[in-house]
Amino acid sequence: MKLSVIALTKKYERVLALDQATFEAPDSRITVLLGPSGSGKSTALRLIAGLERPDSGVILFDDEPVNLPPEKRGVSMVFQSFSLFPHMSVKQNILFGVRSKNLSQAQKEAIAKEIAELVGVTDKLDAKPDELSGGQQQRVALARALASTPRLLLLDEPFSNLDARLREELRWELKRIQAERGITMVHVTHDYTEALALADHIVVLNQGKVEQEGEAEWLIENPKNEFVAWFLGYNVVKINGECVWFRPHKARLSQDGELCGLVELVQNAYFGKKVRVKGNGWSVEVLEQGDVPKLGSTVCVKLLEMRHFANWEKL
């Protein structure tokens, strides 16, 4: 199912959570809503799910306006908290989403078995939630959402309470499930690394407004303004009065360069060390694979690539 949001606005007393937000989630793809806390990401999901009503704007499913109650929208939602019923078994939790359907017990058993196998909890069907790890509980929450065969699956930062390694594992699982089932998914996160790992399509939100949207690979290479570039992990700095952006691995510490300052911080990274260099009114990060100068040392940053926001060309 294709999702379209047009000029969606929602205000909570004095807080404007969404401000004329317009974006799309293409059919059978993973769309990631990316932005900082308070940018309107979760509000957008709740409006799409029908859990709240917008003050203005239109939500379209396959180009048709939708004003149905939540249970009739064909939408499932996975929340940040696992929200499993502690007194129910894994199987009962999974089947809770199909409780209102006129299915035989044999049909329900088949659904539970199929979905449990899909998310990798087949051996836990008789367990209670408190017998499961955090990752297993989130798999069950995902299974419950999938059991009703939704046309649209909404995920509100479902991995944020898990450790880093488990988050990475579940991202792979989510990509696999989406590829197997072809479900349209809208995933909310404030973590740009998670967005890069999951997204086919990205929508960047800031203070309730859509800053930019587009196919993930294109948008990552073409941020339209300083906020989008910064939030995607790029360095953004002014050189000779011009605002430019560059990747940390597209710069090197050297004797001379476009920027000169002091080594402020050093962090270990997968491929070398990340060095933060601070100057007068600016700070940038550089990925170095060799030895790095001591803290407080004066260094220059040589840019291997930089782009100007106005014309997108390498300088």
User: Which CATH number does the domain housing residue 207 bear?
Assistant: 3.40.50.300
Query: Could you read off the pLDDT of 45-99 as tens digits, one per residue?
Result: 999 999 999 999 999 999 999 999 998 999 999 988 878 999 999 999 999 878 7
Tokens of residue 167, six digits: 């988050």
Q: What is the pLDDT of residue 128?
A: 95
Residue 23 shares a structural domain with residue 116: yes
Cα 105 from Cα 165, distance rounded (Å): 38
Number of domains in the chain: 2
Cα 306 from Cα 313, distance rounded (Å): 8
Cα 185 from Cα 116, distance rounded (Å): 19
What CATH code is carried by the domain that includes residue 294? 2.40.50.140
Residue 149 shares a structural domain with residue 292: no
Residue 60 shares a structural domain with residue 201: yes
In total, the chain counts a number of residues equal to 315
Name the band, by pLDDT with cuts 50, 70 and 90, for residue 100: low
Residue 264 shares a structural domain with residue 205: no
Output the CA–CA distances (angstroms, integers) from residue 294 to 256, 277, 298, in the order listed.
17, 11, 9
Question: 153 and 143 in contact (C-beta within 8 Å)?
Answer: no
Cα 27 from Cα 13, distance rounded (Å): 34
Q: Which of 221, 247, 276 is the last residue of a domain?
A: 221
Q: Would 227 be classed as within a structural domain?
A: no
Q: What is the pLDDT of residue 108?
A: 87
Percentage with pLDDT > 70 across the chain:
98
Q: What is the pLDDT of residue 310?
A: 60
Q: What is the pLDDT of residue 126?
A: 94
Residue 83 shares a structural domain with residue 198: yes
Q: Which of 198, 221, 244 is the last residue of a domain?
A: 221
Q: What is the pLDDT of residue 25?
A: 98
Q: Which of 169, 190, 221 is the last residue of a domain?
A: 221
Residue 125 shares a structural domain with residue 16: yes
Across residues 111-134, what is the average pLDDT?
93
Question: 211 and 225 in contact (C-beta within 8 Å)?
Answer: yes
Q: What is the pLDDT of residue 95?
A: 92
Query: Could you read off the pLDDT of 266-315 as tens digits, one per residue?
Result: 999 888 999 999 999 999 999 998 889 999 999 999 999 888 876 544 44
Q: What is the pLDDT of residue 313?
A: 45
Mean confidence (pLDDT) of the chain: 92
Q: Is the pLDDT of residue 21 over 80?
A: yes
Helix (H, G, I), strand (E, B) or coil at 206: strand
Across residues 157-184, what is the average pLDDT?
91
Q: Would 36 be classed as within a structural domain?
A: yes
Q: Which residue in 138, 212, 223 sits closest to 174, CA to CA? A: 138
Residue 90 shares a structural domain with residue 153: yes
Name the band, by pLDDT with cuts 50, 70 and 90, for residue 30: very high
Across residues 124-134, what is the average pLDDT?
93
Domain encompassing residue 288: 235-308
Note the helical H segments in 124-203.
134-147, 164-181, 192-198
Q: What is the pLDDT of residue 315?
A: 44
Q: Which residue in 251, 244, 239 sits closest to 280, CA to CA? A: 239
Question: 43 and 19 in contact (C-beta within 8 Å)?
Answer: no
Residue 134 shares a structural domain with residue 241: no
Across residues 178-200, what is the average pLDDT?
95
